[in-house]
Amino acid sequence: MQGPAPLRGRPPFALPEDSTIDAILSQLPGQLLDGFVRGLVYVAIALGLTIVFGMLRLVNFAHGAFYAIGAYVGLVVAERYGLAAGLIVAPLAVALFAVVFDRVLLRFFYDKEPTAQILVTFGVALVVQESLRLYFGGTTRSFPIPAALSVPVNLGFTQYPAYRLAFAVGIVAIVLLVWLFIQYTSYGLIVRAGIRDRTMVQLLGGNVALASTIVFALGAGLAGLVGAAASPIYSVDPDTGFSFLVPSFVVVVIGGLGSFWGAVIGGLIVGELQSLTTLVLPAASDVVIYVAMALVLLVRPSGLLGESEVIRG
């Protein structure tokens, strides 16, 4: 026996007793899968954030609030009508909220400086958070996983929760759908053109205002959907929004502001980094993503796939 002493207090490494390179390698496939699934959650949240920035040039600090509203709506509906109903109602409700928010408040800030946008969206995020606390109370809530998906699936190299696998498949499908929408629909064309040059699209007669609202609602609906789908995995409380907002910003910064595939790659990088760090130095699993962000900013200030002209706005 290795003896208890090295594990006491704050061990620098926390590995099984046979912590050879072989042992780490044997854990690697499971951790890579976990990092991938975890990354997909970030992808789905960051995607909304990044397309909204690309189209509206808006740094949306209320994005986490969309996630939280989705989680609560999903929870309430799911408790009564089942998880599937929650997954349908939550994104619609959040998209509707986003449209109202956009038309009533946000549109007056489109042309304001970024600090004003940050202040107004941050303010709305706080209002949403405290309203949720007022209405639902601060207590943690969660929705049980449907029985059919509550057991782990044996994948050979590891066992992984069935619900998380279904969740991952769903997110991959949604990412593809959003990409198809942007790539192949006429609205997508306006969106892509708007990301390049907003003024020119308007001069050419494109309805940028409507496209902006649609993109904003789409991004919000995505966050709401993820919020509802994740409530059986993570417990829900009024602070939930902010706890996902921060890593999502890291994802967007790493991937490149406004870049679709940047968000995807950034999300997967952040997920894998967190998972692999937990294998060797779990205490650093939070910090590592900020280190990664700092490195990316030093080497490629516009993010991995970000275009400098997009940033210039």
Partner 1 sequence: MAEGPLGDLPGFRPELGGNRFDPNNAIFVLDPIRDKEIPVNVRLKPTRGQFIVGGLAASAAVKFASINVIAAPKTLVVGLNVPQTGPYSDQGQDQLRAYRLAIAEINAKGGVMGMQIEESVGDDQTKAPVAVENARRMIERDGAVMITGGSSTGTAIAVSGLCQEKKTIFMATLTHGDETTDLNCHYHTFRRYNNAHMSAQALAKTLLAKYGTGRWFHITADYAWGHSVFDNLTSVVEPKGAKTIANVLMPLGTTDFSSALSQAQAAKPDVLVITEFGKDMVNALNQSAQFGLTKSAKILVPLADEYMAKGAGDNFDNVVTTAPFYYKYQSDKYPEAKRFVDAFVKKYNSPPSNGAECAYVDMYQWKGGIERAGSLDPKAFIEKMEGFHFTATKGPEYWRAWDHQGINTVMVLEGVPVAGRDDPFAFAKVLEVHDGDAVAIQQSTSKCKIEDS
Give just the sign of the alpha carbon dihedral 130, 132, 133, 138: negative
Contacting residues for 247 by C-beta, under 8 A, at least 6 apart = 42, 270, 289
Which residues inside 231-260 make contact with partner 1, applying CB under 8 A?
A: 233-235, 237-239, 243
Cβ distance to partner 1 smaller for residue 181 or 234: 234
Query: SS3 string of 167-223?
Result: HHHHHHHHHHHHHHHHHHCHHHHHHHHHHHCHHHHHHCCCCHHHHHHHHHHHHHHHH
d(CA 223, CA 68): 8
Choice between 14 and 304, CB closer to partner 1: 14
Binder of partner 1 out of 195, 274, 305, 310 (CB under 8 A):
274
CA distance 298 to 122: 27
- Which residue from 127, 169, 176, 286 is in contact with partner 1, where contact means CB under 8 A? 286
Q: Which residues pair with residue 154 across a beta bridge? A: 159
Residues 6 or more apart in contact with residue 239 via CB below 8 angstroms: 129
Tell whether residue 140 is a contact of partner 1 (CB under 8 A): yes
279 lies in the binding site for partner 1 (CB under 8 A): yes
CA atoms of 255 and 251, how far apart (whole Å): 6
How far apart are CB 4 and partner 1 at their closest, in Å? Answer: 5
Is there binding between residue 150 and partner 1 (CB under 8 A)?
yes
Judged by CB under 8 A, does residue 131 bind partner 1?
Answer: no
Closer to partner 1 by CB, 100 or 151: give it: 151
Is residue 27 involved in binding partner 1 (CB under 8 A)?
Answer: yes
Which among 93-101, 197-205, 250-258, 280-288 is the span making contact with partner 1, rule CB under 8 A? Answer: 280-288
- 230 within 8 A of 78, measured Cβ to Cβ: no
Residue from 16, 123, 301, 313 binding partner 1 (CB under 8 A): 16
HSE-up of residue 45 (Cα within 13 Å, Cβ side) = 36
Q: Least distance from C-beta 96 to partner 1, angstroms?
A: 27
Contacts of 76 (CB under 8 A, 6+ apart): 86
- Of 13-21, 71-79, 191-199, 300-308, the window that binds partner 1 (rule: CB under 8 A) is 13-21
CA 226 to chain centre: 8
Using CB under 8 A, which of the segments 98-106, 148-156, 179-187, 248-256 binds partner 1? 148-156
Binding residues for partner 1, per CB under 8 A? Answer: 1, 4, 7-11, 14-17, 26-27, 30-31, 33-35, 37-38, 41, 138-142, 144-145, 150-152, 158-161, 163-164, 233-235, 237-239, 243, 274-275, 278-279, 282-283, 285-286
